[in-house]
Amino acid sequence: MNNEPVHPESEIQELLDGRLSAERGAQIEKHLAECEQCRRQRDALVFARESLRASLPASPAPADVVTGVEMALDREERQTGSPGSVKPVVARRRLGRAAIAAGLAAALALAFVLLRHEGSLPSAAARDFARVRSGRLALAFPTENAGELGSYFVRERLPFRTRVFDLAMMGYRLEGGRVHSLAGRQSALFVYRGADGQLLVCEMYEGTTKDLPRALETRQHNGFDFHIYKQGNRTIVFWQEGSVTCVLVGDGGPEQVIQLAFAKAMKAS
């Protein structure tokens, strides 16, 4: 007795989705070769799937969606600390009061140190650099033209003036920029690339350098204070221009990044 269904309707779908065994797939293929009705069904399912896939391509999420998520995560980190990195200390009854107090003090000190760095502006700038480097942070406005990028930031209605400089004379080519968020502050982000692949990421945001943690080094140059931080092979330099603070992050060598920051600040002054 033949148990083969007359028209294996749902199995046609399973065949299309690659869910049948080779043996069963061959049986359904054989049936399709002989059955016009099932071939029509298969063609209709393929048509629907193909139309759907072709018409809904992945495109970058709108800039305000990306910024909204980043700001929400920044808020979350500020409110709770980094989840999982600092656990509340659970006092045990066996511990004496002095031990409990000492433990709490140590935990609070640790929490202070971690929170200070994890939610900090230098940490956020370094993270943005890493995301640009890895391609995880896309440029909403790719251009090599500093003027065009400046106009883009005006169109995006940033609440502060941006100044995008051409660093070609210093061996860095502009790649483009985007409206972004640096540790919860709306920022203009732009990216330069050196001839040997060195990356330079600049961000500008409304704020002062008073919000920064203590720097590894602070240098004065041409009337500006430059706050210098290090993260791995990256050098992070902050300075303030009026109501706007700029940060430059680069992996082209500490002194080179610092000198680029000097040059950029000089041009802005």
Q: What is the closest distance, in whole angstroms, from the C-beta atom of residue 238 to another protein in the complex? A: 13
Q: Binding of another protein at residue 3 (CB under 8 A)?
A: no
To the nearest 10°, the Cα dihedral for 63, 117, 90, 73? 0
For another protein, the binding residues in 87-126 under the rule CB under 8 A are: 113-114, 117-118, 120, 122-123, 126
Q: Binding of another protein at residue 50 (CB under 8 A)?
A: yes
Among residues 193, 216, 200, 210, the alpha carbon closest in space to that of 245 is found at 210
Q: Give the sign of the dihedral formed by CA 28, CA 30, CA 35, CA 37.
A: positive
CB closer to another protein, 162 vs 235: 235
The residues facing 53 across adjacent strands are none
CA distance 235 to 225: 16
Among residues 4, 32, 35, 3, the alpha carbon closest in space to that of 12 is found at 32
**Would you give the binding string for another protein spanning residues 54-93, x where CB under 8 A is met?**
xxxxxxxxx-xxx-xx--xx--xx----xxxx--------
Residues that contact another protein, how many (by CB under 8 A): 61
CB closer to another protein, 85 vs 243: 85
Among residues 234, 238, 198, 232, the alpha carbon closest in space to that of 217 is found at 238
Q: Binding of another protein at residue 41 (CB under 8 A)?
A: yes
CB closer to another protein, 2 vs 134: 134
Pick the binder of another protein from 1, 33, 52, 169 (CB under 8 A): 52
CA distance 91 to 61: 46
CB closer to another protein, 244 vs 249: 249
Q: Binding of another protein at residue 267 (CB under 8 A)?
A: no
Q: Binding of another protein at residue 45 (CB under 8 A)?
A: yes
Q: What is the closest distance, in whole angstroms, from the C-beta atom of residue 41 to another protein in the complex? A: 6
Q: Binding of another protein at residue 5 (CB under 8 A)?
A: no
Helix (H, G, I), strand (E, B) or coil at 50: helix
Among residues 211, 200, 64, 222, the alpha carbon closest in space to that of 128 is found at 200
Q: Binding of another protein at residue 218 (CB under 8 A)?
A: no
**Residue whose token pair is 């929490």:** 111
Report yes or no: 261 and 248 within 8 Å, Cβ to Cβ: yes
Dig out the tokens for 252 from the structure.
């082209």
Q: What is the closest distance, in whole angstroms, from the C-beta atom of residue 64 to another protein in the complex? A: 7
Q: What is the closest distance, in whole angstroms, from the C-beta atom of residue 122 to another protein in the complex? A: 6
Amino acid occupying residue 196: D
CA distance 265 to 226: 9
Q: What is the closest distance, in whole angstroms, from the C-beta atom of residue 166 to another protein in the complex? A: 30
Binding stretches for another protein (CB under 8 A): 9-10, 13-14, 17, 19, 36-37, 40-41, 43-62, 64-66, 68-69, 72-73, 76-77, 82-85, 113-114, 117-118, 120, 122-123, 126-127, 130-131, 134, 136-137, 229-232
